[in-house]
Structure 1
Amino acid sequence: MERISKTGKGIKSDETLFALIETLRELDGAGVTELADRLDVAKSTVHGHLTSMREHGFVVKRGREYHLGLAFFDYGQYVRGQMGIFRSGMQAVDELEKATGEMAWLITHENGKAMYIYGRGGQNDIDINTILGTWAYMHCNSGGKAILAHLPDEEIHQIVDEHGLPARTENTITTREALFEELEQIREQGYALNRSEDLKGVHAIGIPLMFEGEIQGALSIAGPAHRLSQERCEGEVLDQLRAATDEIELNLAYR
């Protein structure tokens, strides 16, 4: 049975709708019977939700299968466009990619996870569109750790309680003690490193984006470990990130 609610406190019909959306995404499209079986709800209920979503452009029907529609993209574009760091940071990310030749990312956070809201691919055979708009665990992501370091301890504990500290590689931090030790170091030095903690063979460095004393997100550079060594991260790349961050924060102040 597909999970319907995390807390059991939501409105049941809404929880069914959200579970339906998530299942359509996981299956990359499905028919009414398959969805009803996966969610353990009546086919009439599934069909009713799908009919309403189809009328509003949130699903499309191809043959016997339903797929998520472009209305989600429309709303996502609107949400991203409302973010000050997105409007203020795109040019800086573009310039970072040209200067470093590596992936450059603008990252923000919500509900205890980090999201890539804008990025450039650098000299890598990676389709960044497969990463853009996706969620990442914060404890093994350089930008995520830069953000965590500037959140209250109570909020950090809540994030760990909800999302845990899953091991992505053998280098991932998996204990609260180790996490808080590293976050203290990040506060002192002003940047966070990811040394193959999320993906083997990939290094990254991230620095926080602050505005009026509040953490807004992070800027990061990522690339293959053989090119993006710790020495390079803490040298020229860090200098370039700091200059870009100053530019973004200035743009935020005068936007």
Structure 2
Amino acid sequence: MNNNGNGSDSSSKNRISAVERAFKIINVLRNEGPHTATDLSDHLDIPKSTAYIYLRTLQDLGYVINEDGTYRLSLRFLEVGGNIRREMDIYNVARGEIDELSHKTGEIGTIGYEENGQRVLLYISEPHDAVADNATTGEFTEMHWTAVGKALLSQRSDDEIRAIVEESGLPKGTEQTITEIEELLQEIDTIRSQGYSLEDEERTSGVRALSIPIESGEQLKNIAISVAGPKHRFSDDRIQDELLPELRNTANVIELQYKHY
């Protein structure tokens, strides 16, 4: 079977190699920034002429911008993601409540979603005096790195969690990240019992986050909300006395509004 990127089917994986290569190029530009055709040729070990053809095709479709021979992704991806998000009822219901939560606590508020075994941030609300943790809207990360991800995992069975880990592994984000499946399952069991998850420098040093899942039937098993901020502002006392009650109240309002949306 020809596997030279000309659009033929890859029989062993039942995938179209040209599509796969196009997205490899997109991912290089996403992760590493602008590249020339020569850069991509070296990076992906393909002929420069092939890299140029792919880049020119993506440019003609509006998804890549050519700036004096250096190519970057266009804002067309922002439009695509924005349209997808706008069609999600939970986003339309919850974003105002997350803004209010962020305003009340003075911390970053987020809506998180599980997709393909990873945590993706649907929405981030940052008050002007909040300390950013460098997360961005649309960011995908490993589930076990974050409070949102662990809250989402708590909605899954242990067998489902094992399947996710088998597919994605348990890579380390920081020295605090859980990297053993049994330890993760033990923490998830605790989260199920207490109803919330805590992230303690497991994704980013110096950052803590608190999250709870949104529970309103099968449709919302992939949604969780959180507050995040610098560790020194997330003391155990403040979590229990202020942040957790505010988070629970916000979740209750979202669940109620969603039922009547």
Q: TM-score, normalised by structure 2?
A: 0.89
In structure 1, what residue type is equivalent to 2:255? Answer: E
In structure 2, what residue type is equivalent to 1:244? Answer: T
1:252 aligned partner: 258
1:195 aligned partner: 200
Whether the 8 Å CA contact 1:121–1:127 is kept in 2: the answer is: no
- Please show how residues 43-54 of structure 1 align to structure 2 within 5 Å: 43-54=48-59
2:138 aligned partner: 133
- Please show how residues 91-102 of structure 1 align to structure 2 within 5 Å: 91-102=96-107
Post-superposition offset of 1:127: 7.7
1:176 aligned partner: 181
Question: Any stretches of 5+ residues in structure 1 without a counterpart?
Answer: none
Post-superposition offset of 1:210: 2.2
Post-superposition offset of 1:102: 0.8
Post-superposition offset of 1:9: 4.2
Say which of 236, 240, 243 aligns to 2:246. Answer: 240
Say which of 72, 80, 98 aligns to 1:75. Answer: 80
Whether the 8 Å CA contact 1:96–1:240 is kept in 2: the answer is: yes
Stretch deviating more after TM superposition (131-140 or 142-151): 131-140
- Please show how residues 148-187 of structure 1 align to structure 2 within 5 Å: 148-187=153-192
Post-superposition offset of 1:143: 0.9
d(CA) in 2 for partners of 1:200, 1:26: 21
Q: Structure 1 127/234 Cα, relative in aligned 2: closer, same or farther at 3 Å?
A: closer
Say which of 193, 215, 218 aligns to 2:221. Answer: 215
Superposed CA RMSD in Å reads 2.0
* Residue 142, structure 1, aligned to residue 147, structure 2: yes
Stretch deviating more after TM superposition (66-75 or 45-54): 45-54
d(CA) in 1 for partners of 2:66, 2:198: 45
Post-superposition offset of 1:133: 1.5
Q: Could you say what secondary structure the match of 1:173 adopts?
A: coil
d(CA) in 1 for partners of 2:208, 2:32: 32
1:32 aligned partner: 37
Question: Any stretches of 5+ residues in structure 2 without a counterpart?
Answer: none
Q: Could you say what secondary structure the match of 1:205 adopts?
A: strand
Whether the 8 Å CA contact 2:85–2:91 is kept in 1: the answer is: yes
1:84 aligned partner: 89
1:16 aligned partner: 21
Say which of 216, 224, 227 aligns to 2:233. Answer: 227
Whether the 8 Å CA contact 2:133–2:229 is kept in 1: the answer is: no
In percent, how many aligned pairs have the same letter?
36
